[in-house]
A and B are shown apart, each in its own frame.
Chain A
Amino acid sequence: MLGSVAIAQRRIDDYASIVGEARIAELRRLAAPLKGLRLLALSISAFGTWQADLLAASIPLMQDLGLQADWRVVRTDLEFQPPVRSLYEALGGLRSHWTADQRRQWERYSALNAALIEPRYDLVIVHDPQLLGLIRRRGEESAHPAARWVWRNHLDLSSAEPSAWEMLRDYAERYDAAVFEDTDFAPPDWAGSIAQIVRPAIDPLGPRNAPLQSDVAATIARQNGIDPDRPLIAQISPFDEGSDVLGLIEVYDALLVRFPALQLAIIPTSIRDDEQTRSYFNQVAALAAARPGCIVLSQVYDAGDTTINAIQSLATIVAQKSLRKGFAIWLSEAMWKQRPIIAGRTIGTAAQIRDGETGFIVPDTATFIERAAELLNNDARRRELGANGKKHVGEHYLITRYLSDMFRVLTGVVAASKTR
């Protein structure tokens, strides 16, 4: 049996107050052809990733809209963790070796898990590229031949290591639909089913985004050493060398001369427990220790959703200094809280941030400093960007939009199978 995940109960009607009755009605219309379908979502982990957050928010809403949606997590083992991690790194272009030995282990892992999928689903959605091999039993009588398979990919595969991607390609091309977070995330030689784009989204009613009363946010900020009455730049994102926190501290130092009350908060939402990240963290910690206005929430697992919500809500500017791959959907969380953003240019920031309207996309540290100074000096401009940001996210990056998009994809897949 595959692993079960705790699913909360959620009601789509609760979202009407945010997106309006019309959107909810449209969503119900889109869900209607899928009603009663047995859907299985498969992922590698039950939590700790943005994909898992999205599943945790969307699966109960799918259930409420009439689909029989299940979420299962594949089985793993200490033995499989290293090859699966290597595959992830190779697909992200971070590692250049993908060995025949690792491939054998991955095949075995895929076969073991494929055998655990119960043959009772109409739709199977695979959420991680490392799981593409689970489709291997499709077509076998016992594997419920009627099932349609969708690959919902969240990784940027544009620079995937060829040896790793070639292994997956044969499997990937067997899927009825492939869904990417952005056009540019598809592998360069993609020749499978038409690549569809479904951008990620945030849950406006989840603990991380639901509005906090201002005194609650201020209390929580104070508990974490942040003065809610002083200006604050915050970077809240996964933490590794790529997050360029050192660069952000450089920005802070430059701004501090002109804004002596300025604070900087670095809130890691996850930290990889490996040598490189640890040593990077230690470097950051040492710099922060010498700067009284610089706060690093080092005990990562203790800063939960409510704390992150509070700090996002109070920040004067939310920063994303890094040129991180992937979508950086947490920027939409900050925009939803009417915060102006300053970020480096990546696929995800270009999609989410309207440069000059909801924040700034900057090419280098010097421009970063300049834009930040501009915003720190101009309250009205910050409010304007914040208001635009909330409107933008409300239209494009809420979970309801994500569900609409997914329902369109799934309906297409189901319809195609009927005409075949």
Chain B
Amino acid sequence: MFGSVPTTPKSIEAYRPIIGDARVDEILELADKIRGARVLHINATAFGGGVAEILATLVPLMTDLGLHADWQVIRGTDEFFNVTKAMHNSLQGMLLEWTPQMREIWTRYNQQNADMLDEDYDFVVIHDPQPAGMLQMATQRLGRRPAGKWVWRCHIDLTDSQVDVWDLIHPHLEPYDAAIFTMAEYVKDDLVSPMLFTIPPAIDPLSPKNVALSPGVEQEILTRYGVDPERPIISQISRFDPWKDPLGVIDVYRSLKKDVPDLQLVLVASMASDDPEGWAWYERTVRRAGEDYDIHILSNLNGVGNVEVNAFQAAAKVVIQKSVREGFGLVVSEALWKGRPCVAGNVGGIPLQILYGRTGYLVNTTAECANRTLYLLQHPEAADRMGIEGREHVREHFLITRYLRDYLAIFNSLVGNVDPSKSPARLLTRAGR
């Protein structure tokens, strides 16, 4: 159709030492029932972001399991992607003007992409609202429903959607055979779908961001960035915006510095290259840090990539995620997987990952955050114990293999191999949400 996104081959067997025989065998069994199935994932970008990150692992694993899995990216020009950006923001509650012209652009590009669909698949997974119109438009063009089961996978929280945008995409969603959300709380009340599932996000324990680094590599990276591996480190990896409160993290560090004078703070900003707001917050954070060389403010835009983030999380005594508003906050699982306790805002998906006092602490204020972090810095055995339990919690719930299993279970439900109510993927009922 429009050209596949290249992915690096992966093997499910590589995960056996991590998740154990029972879980691998469950996956093999589910995959076996739909062996040879043609699966197509469509999303808006191959360039980065959480969805692309997950697909880059999921698609090659499905291939390894004997499915014909393919990942393609919708085609569009700037006018389309400007509209989808606005759509994305407005579905997440941002107030902005939604014009008839924008509506026309979204419709036209969905039409064009639907026209390019020239192969049959057994399962088509459409990710997020950008390409959501393709099913209905392909149906119109063909004069019948295109082959296979169609699933709409929504990665964003729709509950605060602006009405005019929701009204545009809503009718396009209802013909799907199933819809999958990240959390039950993200589902819009009036969405009607034959089957509604949730699949919480997950991390890939073998990706460069999460795979265990040898102590040598970790030290090497810290040293290159001027961070002293011998002194205690706290870190936060996040966007810089009011919701992730980087200024509050600096305040926490400052208040701890009195009790832990050799403490270092590593803040890594994930920024987009043309985002004046992100830049403004970065700059504000730099100013708040002043000339304290024990505060290291780094960014993905100056060379901090997945391996570096891995090292800054693994080397931290405590990882902080001081969100005051959050999506799922998967970065918490990344830290827990490295055996580090996490002190994080009690918002979004974070409470699913942090079991209070067992894998870290949920906090609501800067003072609380400082207190809990100090406790963990002063009680290294407790910190390590929480780190260990955190890693087990992630192994159980937030690894990509669980995510893969959920998809396979849903595919099986859609073709009648598995009773959806007994599916390992969580099926939502009206009453259940």
Which A positions have Cβ atoms within 8 angstroms of B?
A: 3-6, 8-10, 46-48, 52-53, 56, 73, 76-78, 81, 205-208, 210, 212-213, 215-216, 219-220, 223-225, 270-271, 273-275, 278-279, 281-283, 285-286, 288-289, 294-296, 298-308
Contact = CB atoms under 8 A, between A and B. Distances in A.
A47 B305 contact: no
B315 to A, nearest CB: 14
B208 A220 contact: yes
Contact of B296 (A8, A281, A285): A8
A305 B8 CA distance: 20
Nearest to A209: B224
Nearest to A282: B3
B401 to A, nearest CB: 18
Nearest to A56: B302
Given A6-B298, A48-B273, A223-B207, A288 B306 contact: no
Given A213-B216, A283-B3, A304-B300, A299 B53 contact: yes
Given A3-B283, A306-B221, A53 B47 contact: no
B428 interface: no
B217 A8 contact: no
Contact of B286 (A6, A279, A294, A299): A6
Given A225-B8, A271-B47, A285-B5, A299 B56 contact: yes
Given A295-B8, A299-B48, A307-B305, A275 B279 contact: no
Contacts, number: 157
A53 B78 contact: no
Shortest 4 CB-CB distances between A and B: which pairs?
A304-B305, A225-B8, A286-B3, A305-B303
A207 B282 CA distance: 21
A207 B221 contact: yes
12 contacts: A5-B286, A48-B301, A81-B276, A206-B303, A207-B221, A207-B225, A223-B208, A275-B77, A282-B73, A285-B4, A296-B6, A304-B305
A302 B305 CA distance: 4
Given A213-B216, A306-B221, 19 more contacts: A3-B283, A4-B283, A6-B296, A8-B225, A8-B293, A47-B299, A78-B276, A219-B217, A220-B307, A223-B211, A273-B274, A274-B78, A275-B78, A295-B8, A298-B5, A302-B208, A302-B305, A304-B306, A305-B308
Contacts of B8: 224-225, 295
B149 interface: no
B209 A285 contact: no
Given A48-B301, A53-B302, A302-B209, A212 B220 contact: yes
Contact of B305 (A274, A294, A298, A306): A306
Contacts of B73: 282
Nearest to B77: A275
Q: Which of B78, B224, B276, B307 has the most CB of A within 10 A?
A: B307
A224 B48 contact: no
B147 interface: no
A285 B302 contact: no
Contacts of B276: 76-78, 81
Contacts of B304: 304-305
B433 interface: no
A302 B56 CA distance: 12
A15 B230 CA distance: 22
Interface of B: 2-9, 46-48, 52-53, 56, 73, 75, 77-78, 206-209, 211, 214, 216-217, 220-221, 224-226, 270, 273-274, 276, 279, 282-283, 286-287, 289, 293, 296-309
Contacts of B217: 216, 219
B57 to A, nearest CB: 11
Given A219-B217, A299-B53, A288 B6 contact: yes
B267 to A, nearest CB: 9
Given A53-B302, A224-B208, A301-B305, A286 B283 contact: no
A223 B299 CA distance: 22
Given A210-B224, A220-B208, A307-B307, A4 B286 contact: yes
A302 B57 CA distance: 14
A208 B303 contact: yes
B224 A298 contact: no
Nearest to A76: B276
Contacts of A305: 224, 303-305, 308
Contact of B293 (A9, A220, A275, A294): A9
A298 B214 CA distance: 26
Contacts of B305: 301-307
Nearest to A3: B283
B206 to A, nearest CB: 8
A223 to B, nearest CB: 4
A283 B226 CA distance: 40
Given A9-B293, A56-B302, A289-B6, A298 B46 contact: yes
A5 B291 CA distance: 11
Contacts of A10: 226
A299 B273 contact: no
Q: Which of B56, B221, B224, B298 has the most CB of A within 10 A?
A: B224
A283 B5 CA distance: 10
B242 to A, nearest CB: 18
B203 to A, nearest CB: 13
Nearest to A277: B47
A238 to B, nearest CB: 12
Contacts of A206: 224, 303
A210 B304 CA distance: 15
Nearest to B277: A78
A306 B307 contact: yes
Contacts of B286: 4-6
Contacts of A4: 283, 286-287
Given A6-B289, A52-B302, A216-B217, A304 B296 contact: no
A8 B276 CA distance: 23
A220 B214 CA distance: 11
Contacts of B303: 53, 206-208, 304-305, 308
A52 B206 CA distance: 32
Nearest to A216: B217
Nearest to B46: A298
A225 B306 CA distance: 15
B215 to A, nearest CB: 11
Nearest to A271: B47
A111 B6 CA distance: 47
A286 B301 contact: no
Contacts of B298: 6
Contacts of A47: 299, 301-302
Nearest to A292: B9
Nearest to B280: A3
B79 to A, nearest CB: 9
B48 A301 contact: yes
Nearest to B221: A306
Nearest to B2: A282
B306 A285 contact: no
A53 B299 CA distance: 12
Contacts of A9: 226, 293
Given A5-B286, A306-B308, A307-B307, A299 B6 contact: no
